[in-house]
Chain A
Amino acid sequence: MANLKEIVCTPENPFGVEREMSDADQKLYDDLQKQFNDNAANRKLRQIKQLRSDRLKSTDWMSNSDVTMPDYIKTWRQTLRDLPQNNTTESQYDTLLEQNADGSLKNSVWKQPTE
């Protein structure tokens, strides 16, 4: 089967021409695709940890000595910290990362409680 097509610009063709990928570049492309698909769960977990970290950082100021952190914030922060150990499968990651049409996260765990 022929390799996929790519664009190449050179001094002779500064606006680019299409050509078939070399075997080496086709392998690179295939390997990246496989790696991307194989790493789906790790990638989602990394996103979850990033979202968790952002929310913990946004409430870190409440732990200052001159502030009393409300219990509901303490509980929420602990829930966030426990997310990786309480969610270990890709389908659980998908549930945590589910989005509304506007891109906002559906899962209530990401929303800071008010009481």
Chain B
Amino acid sequence: MSKTTIPTGGITADAIDATLIADDAISEEHLDATAITGHTALAEAPADTDEFLISDGGVLKRLDASYVGGSDFVRIATSRSSSNTTAVNFDDVFDGSVYEHYRVFGYVAGAVNAGGDMYWRTGGSSGSTYTSSNYVWVQDGRYIDNSGSAGDYHVGTFNDSKFRYATDMKVDNDSAYALFDFLISDPTTNQMSRSYITGTVSWQENTGFQQVTSSFGGRNDSNVNATGLRFQQESNSIAYHHIQIWGYKKS
């Protein structure tokens, strides 16, 4: 029996199933965009076992999200604000079971002319700041001032109570800040007993308004087993900041 007209309401909910439709009968012209847009957005990165529908050489297949865009370089945390804050902490962000190297980059602008400091954090989400005097760091670079004069820049401290990645930072609302890009190895000391830091920093000093660029290297002279980082100004608040922490998967 054939029908050319189906009256409104003639097909009830769930009345049509796979047994009633010929294979390959549903083509693009019968599929509306609301098949996607009408659904609830996931609004987060998909789990590894979430699935996509793809055409694999003309054959529809399901694909686990773990195969799509999966990266061994994973963003762990981000903090960004234009409001004053006393410090920016990253707690429990170092996970030695998954990562061994971390990339920490961003910028910090101070509320007064001062230095930018970085500390280890230890002991969980309400952890403490590690301030023992065994941070070792050195910076080597060049500067150029507003008159065009350039010079060498060499600073460093043995057994400091923190890493200082920028000194005498100029404050000028949102136009003067320190930009940094650090690579941190094994802060949880899973394989190595000391964590090292290497990277680059550029900032504007208050004295002479000179722009400084430098390489930065450091280590902690004890087995800290750090769980995170703390960013703070030498004095007063952080006015603007945007800091990200990314992890490189071990395998």
Contact = CB atoms under 8 A, between A and B. Distances in A.
Interface of A: 4-12, 14-16, 18, 21-22, 24-25, 28-29, 32-33, 36-37, 43, 47, 50-51, 54, 57-58, 97, 99, 102-105
Contact of A103 (B89, B145, B232): B145
Contacts of B76: 11, 14
A103 B146 CA distance: 7
B86 A29 contact: yes
A21 to B, nearest CB: 6
Most B CB contacts (10 A, CB to CB) among A47, A54, A97, A99 go to A54
B208 A105 contact: yes
A14 B74 CA distance: 12
- Interface of chain A: mostly helix, strand, loop or mixed: mixed
Given A9-B79, A14-B77, A103-B208, 9 more contacts: A7-B87, A11-B76, A15-B79, A21-B86, A25-B87, A43-B168, A57-B151, A103-B146, A104-B209
A95 B25 CA distance: 87
B77 to A, nearest CB: 4
Given A4-B86, A9-B78, A58-B151, A22 B146 contact: no
A36 B245 CA distance: 28
B85 A11 contact: no
Interface in B87-129: 87-93, 114, 117, 125-126, 128-129
With a 10 A CB-CB cut-off, give which of A22, A28, A105 has the most chain B CB atoms.
A28
A32 B233 CA distance: 9
B235 interface: yes
A22 B77 contact: no
A29 B79 contact: no
Which 8 residue pairs are nearest across A and B when measured between Cβ atoms? Answer: A103-B209, A36-B235, A9-B77, A16-B79, A8-B89, A6-B87, A14-B77, A54-B151
Given A6-B87, A10-B92, A22-B128, A51 B81 contact: no
Contact of B168 (A9, A29, A47): A47
A8 B91 contact: yes
A82 to B, nearest CB: 20
B146 A102 contact: yes
Given A8-B89, A21-B86, A103-B145, A15 B125 contact: no
Contacts of B151: 54, 57-58
Contacts of A102: 146, 209
Interface string B140-159: 00000111010110000000
B226 to A, nearest CB: 14
B208 A51 contact: yes
A9 B89 contact: yes
A32 B129 CA distance: 13
Contacts of B93: 9-11
12 contacts: A7-B87, A7-B88, A9-B78, A9-B79, A9-B88, A10-B77, A14-B77, A32-B235, A57-B151, A58-B151, A102-B146, A104-B209
B236 interface: yes
Contact of A97 (B87, B128, B207, B235): B207
Given A14-B78, A37-B235, A58-B151, A9 B129 contact: no
